[in-house]
Amino acid sequence: MSDSAERPWITTLKPILKLLPEVEAPTKQVALIERCIWTLVTLLIYLIAGQIPLYGVLNTDKDYLQWLRTLMAANRGTLTELGMGPQMMGQMFTTVLSRLGVIGVNRHIPSERAALISLNKLASLGFTTIQASVQVYAGMYGPFASIGIGKACLIVAQLVFASLLVMLLSEILEKGWGLGKIIGASLFQTANVCEQIMSKTVSFAYQSGTERGTEYTGCLINLGHKLMTQKNWKHALHDAFFRSHLPNMTEFVCTVLLFGLIIFFHGMQSSIRLKKANAPGRSGLISYPIKLLSGTGTPALIYQTITTYFLSFSQRLFHQLGTSSSSASRLVASLVGTWEQAEDTIGSKPMAYPTGGLAYFITPPSSIHSAIMHPLHFLGYLVLTCICSAYLSKFWAKFQGQDVNNVRRELSQSGLMMPGMRLQMFTKVLSRYITPAIIVGGGLYGLITTLSGVCGCFGGGSGLFIATNTILKLYEEGMEVHKADLKERKAI
């Protein structure tokens, strides 16, 4: 299709896409200081929105999506109730349409690229409306009959407005006004993870009148308080490191160690020597890096989402068929998963936990003690998570256009080839590096997620991975912008 010919889907949706607000890209290079200011402003706006409660909400006690809050940068009962979820779903939806050939997009044509961004916004707003409507009707903010149709529509309108605000804030970063041109909305997820880590580490909130006396929520603050107020320092250290009802120092140490482990794996990479096609001699040689952890952890997040829904399905199936008179029904229920009721460790609410079947092996151990006491369960969960994460990473790389064939095609279009090699041999060499890196990287991400869950790390394995990846890319982008500023000053 020629550049002048407009694609049918763009022509059809153009009247709607024009109505969506858009952030204009800067016309010149934005200085590093100005980018830092814009980044802080967007982050501050998002954090403030996360403290503004939704009007019309009657009840926010039940939170069925608590396990997704950190990764989606969402705060319960506020304008950021849905967080980055609708935006991620919108991007995945348009990516699926593009990969399946339903919509044709040439990202090298500015008009088509802009139309795709607008379509992402439209799809995200659609998902926001659907999710918000379902949650209101399901009673997540109070009984629908008590809320009423007027307030229900108002809650949905607030969430749609907040979703559009989040998309515009992300666009400010991605268009080059702030730092985060590559990571975009991951900055908000990182801020949410860091906020959670700080609250569990240095929070001055306290509980008085307990068996152990006054206890602070922040584990570091509590450690200092115990050492200063208790005469027996051994008991003080034991309480600070092994308390179970509040964040403890053992979880803090595991978080620091896991953070260092992720940084270590991020630094592992291999390089391939490439050459520009028309460059004479050795002047066109460049080094093409292939990193071990180059992704964002989306495959493991997909695996966690699937297992969460499977566990919910397994629990309902066991309650319906587990006591059935039919032996075939009981067999199916037991293979999918058997469940028992137990008291919560903190003391009060009955909770169900799997004791057999497939549900038992895809449920993470609740603590280090649980992993030691049930080694087969821990090993089964670890192996299953790593294998599924590895193969989902391979599938996701192909789906995102990051597999060997797409990388080779992009390098060839850029005029880069391996010196003295034909196209077929070039593809084989790339497959020896890229495919193992994708599979091993996915397996390592599954390992990190498992260890973080067992050790009770602050922010979770997925959250720590996203935060580390975002911070490192922010640093790299900041250094590139700084070098560009220096070159511009020298030219002047």
Tokens linked to 164? 């559009």
Query: Taking a C-beta distance cutoff of 8 angstroms, is the pair 230, 236 a contact?
Result: yes
Q: Is 255-491 in CATH node 1.10.3370.10?
A: yes
Rg (CA), the chain: 26
Query: Taking a C-beta distance cutoff of 8 angstroms, is the pair 320, 345 a contact?
Result: no
**Domain ranges, ordered by start, for the chain:** 8-181, 203-250, 255-491
Q: How far apart are CA 216 and CA 235, in angstroms?
A: 16
Query: Taking a C-beta distance cutoff of 8 angstroms, is the pair 255, 457 a contact?
Result: yes
Tens-binned pLDDT, residue by residue, of the chain (492 aa): 444 456 777 777 778 878 888 888 888 888 888 888 998 999 899 989 988 999 888 876 666 666 667 767 788 889 988 888 888 788 888 877 877 777 877 766 777 778 888 888 888 899 999 988 988 887 788 888 888 899 999 999 999 999 999 888 988 888 888 887 656 667 888 888 888 889 899 988 877 666 777 888 899 998 998 888 888 888 889 888 988 888 889 999 999 998 888 888 888 888 888 877 676 666 667 788 888 876 656 676 677 767 777 877 887 788 777 666 677 777 888 888 888 766 544 444 445 677 888 888 888 887 788 888 888 888 888 888 888 888 888 888 877 777 788 888 877 777 777 776 777 787 888 888 888 888 888 888 888 888 888 888 888 777 888 888 888 888 888 888 888 878 877 776
Provide CB contacts within 8 A for 12, sequence distance 6+.
Answer: none
Nearest to residue 7, comparing CAs of 118, 102, 117? 102
Write b or e for each residue in 294-331: b if 16 or more Cβ atoms lie within 10 A of its Cβ, otherwise e.
bbbbbbbbbbbeebeeebeebbebbeebbeeeeeeebe
* 80, burial (CB in 10 Å: exposed 0-12, middle 13-18, buried 19+): buried
- Orientation angle between helical segments 404-413 and 423-455, nearest 10 degrees: 130
pTM of the model as a whole: 0.77
| Pairing mode of beta strands 338-343, 350-356 | antiparallel
The helix (run of H) or strand (run of E) holding residue 341 is strand 338-343
Distances (CA, A) of 400 to 96, 99, 293, 387: 9, 8, 15, 20
Provide CB contacts within 8 A for 259, sequence distance 6+.
Answer: 464, 468
Class at the top of the CATH hierarchy for domain 8-181: mainly alpha
Provide CB contacts within 8 A for 178, sequence distance 6+.
Answer: 35, 36, 38, 39, 41, 42, 172
Query: Taking a C-beta distance cutoff of 8 angstroms, is the pair 442, 159 a contact?
Result: no
